[in-house]
Copies of this chain bind each other. A is one copy, B any other.
Amino acid sequence: MTLTSAATFTSSRQPDPTRSVASRVLSVLDAFSGECRRLTVSDISRRTGMPLTTAHRLVGELVSWGALERDRDGRYQIGLHLWEVAVLAPRGLGLREVAMPYLEDLFAATRQHVQLAVLDGLDVVYIERISSRDAIHVHSRVGGRWPAHATGVGLVLLANAPQTAQEQALSGPLAAFTSKTIVDPGALRRMLAEVRRTGYALSDRQVTLDAVSVAAPIRNAAGEVVAALSVVVRAGAPLPGTVPAVLAAARGISLQLLRNPQGP
């Protein structure tokens, strides 16, 4: 078993080799990441594999529209206008706005990290996290991705995903982060069945050996699981009360989605 360190993990997105102009423009945006938020045109040219002149021209177009901005050192960063548009994504801020009061209540009740995530392919994407300065360190960042099988929110989302997505997760390689990460497809299949049976997931020390997460599903008006909520606690800390609290918060958000058209 090969342990994958959190620092070297990269998402499963691949650049599109058949490059239309539209996809080249969008690939410039993909050059940016959590670790690299400010890039020069040379960086962008190198990371996208496009010639310097092309990169320069497309960067100009993106700056003109506001998807990129130039900082005082002459490097480029993701621009405000892209964020203004992205804020309209129902699966991003739309969901977060509906969920926020419940996340805050759960945080006030538990004083532990509270996370909200959605499934994208075989990864979870964290939409929000409320953190406690007193609680343990977590790897996730808002907008960040993580392989679903290795997280509480991910186990909930996979367990309720369409059959094709589940089979894809069960057939592909499963990255390991600790000695407790579920990497055996049979064990994962049994875990997903257990999550469906109990209605929640307990992810035991799969990402770091000092943390456990308790997660529950959030459903939209059509009854589909569209997101998951979790609380991350120190491994070995007592759990009674945590599972009902997480389930109650998730149910509260689901009820809100019944009424709110802006959610997913």
Chain A residues with CB under 8 Å of chain B are 16, 20-23, 25-26, 29-30, 32-34, 37-38, 58, 61-62, 64-67, 69, 71-72, 77-94, 97, 118, 120, 125, 142-143, 145, 222, 262
- Asked if B23 and A120 sit within 8 Å, CB to CB, the answer is no
Contact of A86 among B86, B94, B262 (CB under 8 A): B86
Nearest B residue (CB) for A66: B120
| In contact, A79 and B89 (Cβ under 8 angstroms) | yes
Query: Are A118 and B80 touching (Cβ within 8 A)?
Result: yes
Are A85's CB and B262's CB within 8 A?
A: no
- Residue of chain B at shortest CB distance from A79: B89
Query: Which chain B residues border A23 with CB–CB below 8 Å?
Result: 61, 64-65
Q: In the complex the two chains form, is B84's CB within 8 Å of A222's CB?
A: no
Could you say which of B21, B78, B90 contacts A89, with CB atoms under 8 Å apart? B78
A-B contact pairs, 15 of them (CB 8 A): A20-B61, A22-B22, A22-B25, A23-B61, A23-B65, A32-B88, A37-B94, A66-B120, A69-B91, A77-B89, A77-B90, A80-B89, A80-B125, A84-B92, A86-B86
| Contact indicator A85/B29 (Cβ below 8 Å) | yes
Taken together as a complex, chains A and B put the C-alpha atoms of A33 and B88 apart, in Å, by 7
**CB proximity of A177 to chain B, nearest CB, Å:** 21
Contact partner of A85 among B30, B38, B80, CB < 8 A?
B30
Q: Which residues of B contact A82 (CB under 8 A)?
A: 82, 85-86, 89
Please name all residues of chain B whose beta carbon is closer than 8 Å to the beta carbon of A20 when the two chains form the complex: 61
Q: Which residue on chain B has the smallest CB distance to residue A82?
A: B86
Write out the residue numbers on chain B whose beta carbons fall within 8 Å of the beta carbon of A222. 72
Q: Which B residues touch A92, using CB under 8 A?
A: 78, 80, 83-84
Q: Which residue of B lies closest to A84 (CB)?
A: B143
Contacts of A66 in B (CB 8 A): 120
A20 to B89 Cα, complex, angstroms: 25
Q: Which residue of B has the minimal Cβ distance to A33?
A: B88
Q: How far is the CB of A91 from chain B (nearest CB, A)?
A: 5
Q: Are B25 and A85 in contact (CB under 8 A)?
A: no
- The answer to whether residues A143 and B93 also contact, given A83-B86, A88-B78, A262-B37 and a CB cut-off of 8 A, is yes
The residue on B at minimum CB distance from A91 is B80
Which 4 pairs from chain A and chain B are nearest by CB? A87-B143, A86-B86, A83-B92, A22-B61
* Inter-subunit contact A37/B90 (CB<8 Å): yes
Residue of B nearest to A81 (CB): B120
Contact partners of A80 in chain B: CB under 8 A: 89, 91-92, 118, 120, 125
